[in-house]
Structure 1
Amino acid sequence: MEHRDSPPPGNTPPRTAFEDIPSQRETLFRNVLAYQPVNEQEAADKQVILNCLKTQPDCFDRSALAHMACSIWTVDPAKTKTLMVYHNIYDSWSWIGGHADGQCDLAAVALRELEEETGISDARLAPCGIYSLEVLTVDGHVKRGEYVGSHLHLNVTYLAIASPSEPLRIKPDENSGVKWVALDEVVGISTEPWIAERIYRKLIDKLPSIDLSTG
């Protein structure tokens, strides 16, 4: 006997865009899908990230060649400076971030990385949601005595607000310096030209249009 809720023949419901995506990834997938790219770099990288979220079961595991990561662009309430760390591996003043390592709530991961790398524990996320998207190349390097092969970070960036008066500390196995940097000095202190010009400048340029209030 046909179940009363079964669709009539020929009226099979259409497949949804999320049908083949594990349920725990749907929120992130939807948020990335809804994000409006600000330039060609973001438009191209958004499609790469969406495709990996939809088709690569292991993309939240750092063992994958291309895996999910997050960054957190942290500014003071006046939007005049950002918090940066001197990254040991990249040998440059850098933004803050880390790997998903199996977690799909990348906003929570980003806040955790901020506290671990800088000591900032009282930051809040801006209400804009995802702040930027990037596919970042990572050259092979040695970390904690072991070689890590070249790979890609499928990066989701969030915007956070914190007080410059909050105490700072380094995380010795990750960085050797933490400081607030005036926005007009950020590009100049980075020794990574592509990141400085393509990413940091983008993050700085879009900041004036972002409302940091919570309502």
Structure 2
Amino acid sequence: MLLKLEKEIIEFSPYNEQEKLDKNILLKLLNSEKNIFSRKNKICHFTASSWIINEEKTKVLMIYHNIYNSWSWTGGHADEETNLLKVALTEAKEETGLENIKVLLEDIFSIEILTVDGHMKNGEYVSSHLHLNITYLLEANEHDMLSIKEDENSDVCWINIEESEKISKEEKMKIIYKKLNEKLKKYLRS
């Protein structure tokens, strides 16, 4: 599976300078770092996120993330799993309560290296580190029942796509969400 992910990253066509630079770094780290799919690597490790849109392609599903105290996409740590699409789907279901989620694009939708500030989790301090993130494009029915994952989020809500990049309290994430929306528009036109 590791070879499959490496191949997918190599074949990924960057949308902008950020993705171009991050792609090169991801490939270097994938081949040089130990425990890159585990939180045992305290410097950097892979994560998977998803940009979940409704069937009408007008809204994105976001969660209110407890640690970051902000609206956020769904996603989480690979925790030894090298199939990051599987991770993205699992996290999306766990964090939203949705059971039926459709993969719109099997390929990587977006890549980003995200800085994570030191924080408390489950009563323990987690040092600042990097998330080597792979994002997938998913779809769900906005009328399906939603539920929160109490230890991670306090709300789940469909938000108009245009509002999704504004609703976050994290400036660095507003840039990512704006990019995801631009890429979504391009994807929907093709």
Compute the TM-score of the two structures, normalised by the length of structure 1. 0.85
Q: CA deviation at 1:76?
A: 0.7
- In 2, Cα distance between the equivalents of 1:103 and 1:120? 21
- In 2, Cα distance between the equivalents of 1:111 and 1:188? 25
- In 2, Cα distance between the equivalents of 1:40 and 1:27? 24
2:36 — aligned with what? Answer: 59
1:107 — aligned with what? Answer: 85
1:145 — aligned with what? Answer: 123
Is 1:38 the counterpart of 2:15? The answer is yes
Q: Is the 8 A contact 2:105 2:136 kept in 1?
A: no
Identity %: 46
Q: Is the 8 A contact 1:118 1:168 kept in 2?
A: yes
| 2:69 alignment partner AA | D
- In 2, Cα distance between the equivalents of 1:128 and 1:113? 16
- In 2, Cα distance between the equivalents of 1:59 and 1:86? 27
Is 1:162 the counterpart of 2:140? The answer is yes
Q: Is the 8 A contact 1:126 1:212 kept in 2?
A: no
Q: Is the 8 A contact 2:49 2:136 kept in 1?
A: yes
* 1:41 counterpart SS class: helix
Note the alpha carbon deviations across 1:160-190, whole angstroms, 9 max, x for none. Answer: 0100011000000000000000011112211
CA RMSD of aligned residues (A): 1.4
Q: Among 64, 83, 94, which residue is 2:72 paired with? A: 94
Highest RCO, 1 vs 2 (Cα 8 Å, sep ≥ 6): 2
1:71 — aligned with what? Answer: 49
Structure 1: where are the runs of 5+ without partners? Answer: 1-23
Q: CA deviation at 1:208?
A: 2.1
Q: Is the 8 A contact 2:51 2:60 kept in 1?
A: yes
Q: CA deviation at 1:212?
A: 10
Q: Is the 8 A contact 2:36 2:45 kept in 1?
A: yes
Number of aligned residues: 189
Bigger CA radius of gyration: 1
1:202 — aligned with what? Answer: 179
1:83 — aligned with what? Answer: 61
- In 1, Cα distance between the equivalents of 2:38 and 2:102? 26
Q: CA deviation at 1:209?
A: 2.4
- In 1, Cα distance between the equivalents of 2:189 and 2:69? 31
Note the alpha carbon deviations across 1:93-142, whole angstroms, 9 max, x for none. Answer: 00000000000000001000001000011011113510000000000000
* 1:130 counterpart SS class: coil
| 2:62 alignment partner AA | M
